[in-house]
Amino acid sequence: MSIGAGILLFVVGAVLRFALNVEVSWLDLPLVGNLLMGAGVLIFVLGLVFTFRRRRTVSTRRTVGAQGEVDGITKTTREVDDTDI
């Protein structure tokens, strides 16, 4: 979601900066466009960093009955680091 939000902010900022020829006395549209483009790039990069640093944990539970019987479910916990993929 943050990657898409970063792209959206960048596009809106680029439209404000380069495509509009409107003069508003109380607002500097090119400056607002530059700020939105900078925020969009920052959010996009942070979204990529958080996406690639995400780890997955898979766990399975093993239970033992009263007489020591195992019901066949094994408990395994492992962390998969997605940065190598």
pLDDT class for 51, splitting at 50, 70, 90?
A: confident
Q: What is the pTM of this model?
A: 0.63
Query: CA-to-CA distance for 33 and 18, rounded, in angstroms?
Result: 8
Range of 64's domain? 2-84
- Token couple for 30: 């090119």
Enclosing H/E stretch for 7: helix 2-14
**What's the whole-number average pLDDT of the chain?**
81
pLDDT of residue 85: 47
Whether the per-residue pLDDT at 24 is higher than 50: the answer is: yes
Query: CA-to-CA distance for 84 and 81, rounded, in angstroms?
Result: 7
Tens of pLDDT along 58-77?
666 766 666 655 555 555 55
pLDDT, mean of residues 40-65: 81
- Token couple for 18: 């380069």
Tokens 């790039």, located at residue: 41
Angle at 12 (CA atoms; ends 49, 33), nearest 5 degrees: 95
Domain count, the chain: 1
